[in-house]
Amino acid sequence: MALLPNTAQAAGTYPDPRPLTGQQIIHDPTVIRLKSGRYVAYSTGGVIGARLSRDGKQWDDAGNAFAEPPSWWYEYNDTGDPWAPDISYRAGRYWLYYAVSSWGTNHSAIGVATSRTGLPGTWTDHGKVFASETTDHWNAIDPALIKADGKLWMSFGSYWTGIRMVELDPGTGKAVPGTTVHHLATRPDLPYAVEGPYIVRHGRHYYLFASYDACCAGVNSTYRIKVGRSTDIRGPYVDSTGKPLLEGGGDLLLEGHGRYIGTGGQSVFQDKGKDWLAYHYYDAEDNGTPKLGLNRLTWKPNGWPTVR
């Protein structure tokens, strides 16, 4: 009972997202500032839906990453529907990772495409990066990339015992053959409702952000963002009390408040030396429509992140 006042106080301090205009509808956003100076956001929906902005505030619909789904996607769902992309820049190219699956199964795959400009309509698909089957204890969706210790890593995972990570070949961008599947976070109870990992480095720590509880239910969504950290990219990740994320730990970073329901599907991007948290929320004042949330991500003296 002693925790309740602190919890209520924390909830009261959650900032609203940055005011945006234009096309704000989005789900599972990944955002980057392109070399051209424009911003692009890719997302679940369409054939990887795209939004473009010149200032990070006014967003315009920019179609889709692909004109048509690559044929191999249909192995994982009947509609060729991609989920939860991740964009990054490396070796002179933009890399777009994404997942294809069906609701409620871990017969899933992560794929990758590259582009010289990062703009919609310019992507070349390179096929599967990593896959999971119903016999696995993980689910190959929600990819996110990070370079660490001279290696390239991809975190991923949704339910099915939580968050995992594998090493990628920097040349192909695909999983190293026989790579170890590292376990980073889970919950002690079924259905292990944690997904959408994103890892960033700050100072001497790696910070693992993940979405907990239920998405995709409009105003009934309970998505919220938690975080833990480790000095080793492979873990163990712990929260500020020292509780491992493999034992259900995690500091609450952002949850629903006011009209902004079910905050999650997050990613982090840098712009002009500042860190930003991108996520979706369900707008309680617009029939639960999923929209883009952007907040500055800052760091406390003790190293832990906070949003403002």
Beta bridge partners, 166, equal 154
- Residues 266 and 211 sit within 8 Å (Cβ to Cβ): yes
> 81, 86, 142, 195: which is the annotated catalytic residue?
195
* C-alpha span between 134 and 296 (Å, rounded): 39
Active site residue 255: no
- d(Cα 129, Cα 19) in Å, to the nearest integer? 36
**Of 129, 131, 136, 103, nearest in space to 114 by CA:** 129
Catalytic residue among 28, 81, 255, 283: 28
Kindly state the tokens that stand for 154.
Answer: 């991809």
| Residues linked to residue 53 through DSSP beta bridges, in sequence order | 39, 59
3-state secondary structure string across 169-194: CCCCCCECCCCCCEEEECCCCCCCCE
Instruction: Give the residue numbers marked as catalytic.
Output: 28, 195
